[in-house]
Amino acid sequence: MSIAQTVGARIRACREQAGLTQAELASAAFVTRQSVGNWEGGKTLPDVQSLQLVAQALGTTVDGLLGDEVPAIARETIGARRQLTRCLAALAVLFVLYLVVSVIDVSFLRGEPNYTARLACNGIRITLAAFSIPVARRMREITRGRELGDAVEIMMFVEGYPAGQEPPNNVFYRTILTNIPALYTLFLVALAAVYIAIVYA
């Protein structure tokens, strides 16, 4: 039985003993009923703040819910943080390489078309995209398992901030991470402008 399953079984046993439904426990812990279901099903582990609220609602302690699993949970959290950091770094490298190959590919549109070079660029892009799929899948597994909903929560987890803490009040967290869709759209527009400039220069 995994750590999450062991802790989830304890939460369920304590909840049933307290005579609470999943919805009632969710309300007491300020989470969704689905979150409680995920905890009890061993899919995810509650964060520290949720554990405290759950323990209070069930008339027990955090230690009572975790038992002897604290060191293992700490190791698992550190491992997940390292894996997520590697995934983010790998995706960033793949994205930059994809961008470089795309710009090189567009440069072959100038003058006499070089179909062999363009075919090679397309092959490299397909390969990079294929490499990104398992990395993105692993990243999604970690973020779902930790119930990390957006870029701010993901980065706070990677940097080791406690769950529930307010994000740092800096440009990176308050502006960049909260506006990733808009920044991505702006990036695509800039990339299209670069393509046009290369082709018609």
Model confidence over 54-99: pLDDT tens digits? 999 989 888 888 887 778 777 888 898 999 999 999 999 999 999 8
Full residue range of the structural domain in which residue 85 is found: 81-200
Kindly give, in sequence order, each residue whose CB lies less than 8 Å from that of residue 183, ignoring residues fewer than 6 positions away: 176
In a domain, residue 67? The reply is: no
Do 129 and 31 belong to one domain? no
In a domain, residue 157? The reply is: yes
What is the C-alpha separation between 21 and 101, in angstroms, rounded? Answer: 55
* Distance between start and end Cα atoms, the chain: 63
In a domain, residue 75? The reply is: no
In a domain, residue 115? The reply is: yes
pLDDT at 112: 67
Do 47 and 136 belong to one domain? no
Do 134 and 194 belong to one domain? yes
In a domain, residue 70? The reply is: no
In a domain, residue 22? The reply is: yes
Do 86 and 35 belong to one domain? no
Higher pLDDT, 127 or 147: 127
Do 128 and 187 belong to one domain? yes
Do 110 and 42 belong to one domain? no
What is the C-alpha separation between 15 and 128, in angstroms, rounded? Answer: 48
Query: What's at 164, amino acid-wise?
Result: G
Do 131 and 41 belong to one domain? no
Do 33 and 124 belong to one domain? no
Do 29 and 97 belong to one domain? no
Q: Cα-atom radius of gyration of the chain, to the nearest Å?
A: 23
Do 55 and 92 belong to one domain? no
Number of separate domains in the chain: 2
Kindly give, in sequence order, each residue whose CB lies less than 8 Å from that of residue 98, ignoring residues fewer than 6 positions away: 125, 128, 129
Do 90 and 34 belong to one domain? no
Kindly give, in sequence order, each residue whose CB lies less than 8 Å from that of residue 191, ignoring residues fewer than 6 positions away: 99, 102
In a domain, residue 47? The reply is: yes
Write the pLDDT tens digit of every residue in 8-55: 899 999 999 989 999 999 999 888 899 899 888 988 888 878 888 899
- List own/partner pairs for 134-142 with CB under 8 A and 24 or more apart: 135/87, 135/90, 135/91, 135/94, 136/87, 136/91, 138/83, 138/87, 139/84, 139/87, 139/88, 139/91, 142/80, 142/83, 142/84, 142/87
